[in-house]
Amino acid sequence: MSWYEVILSSEQLSEGISEKIQSDFEALLIKAGTVPEMALFCDTFPVPQFSMYFSPVAVQYASDLISIYSGDTCEKPDASEVTLLAGDKNSAWDLLK
């Protein structure tokens, strides 16, 4: 299973799209129940672009959300370059090892 990335433009950021994606993802997380491997990360330093990363298990629950924002497969993000937005704080970081 692959990681997925949604890349947002500066215009989308100013429109609050990243907050909407995070909110929608959190609702999916609640609906899914306890799924330790379901996580959403974002770039810590959003230059030159801002990316949001969906863990492989998250894709099973958030595929529609990813599609809405034209997400695509990507490499696993580097743990030193991302921030956890949603997911189990105890297990989410293990996904990046």
CB atoms within 10 A of CB 71: 22
Question: What average pLDDT does range 70-89 have in this prediction?
Answer: 97
Longest dimension (CA), the chain: 35
- Contact indicator for 53, 44 with CB cutoff of 8 Å: no
- Contact indicator for 70, 9 with CB cutoff of 8 Å: no
- Whole-prediction pTM: 0.95
Lowest mean pLDDT among 8-12, 44-48, 82-86: 44-48
Q: Is the pLDDT of residue 45 over 90?
A: no
Give the residue extent of every domain in the chain: 3-96
